[in-house]
Amino acid sequence: MQDITAPELAAWLADPSRVQPQLLDVREPWEIETCSIRGAVAMPMQSVPARLAELDDDKPVVCICHHGVRSAQVGHYLERCGFASVINLAGGIHAWAEEVDPDMPTY
């Protein structure tokens, strides 16, 4: 599994010439209500095994959580399930708020 920084992910999302990743937000619903990246699929960590069919294993998946720990765990799980391109947002949504979207609420 690779890591990606918040600015790198922002550049990727802004580049229409690149295949766009699936953004998988594995935080809890109350966390997602506080802040989220537009287009992210909300799938709390515990629900991922039951909801794997909702993800396209042919597209890159960027896993997102608060600081990058839970998303790394989910990323490793996805790799064990056969997903070929799994990326962890280093620093999580907190890094996104600090480095990409300073207007985003933090917690």
Nearest C-alpha neighbor of 45 from the set 57, 58, 63: 63
**By the 8 A CB rule, do 4 and 43 touch?**
no
Which residues participate in catalysis according to the annotation? 65
Q: Which regions of 27-89 does DSSP assign to beta strands (E)?
A: 41-42, 61-64, 86-89
Q: What CA–CA distance (Å, rounded) separates 101 from 61?
A: 21
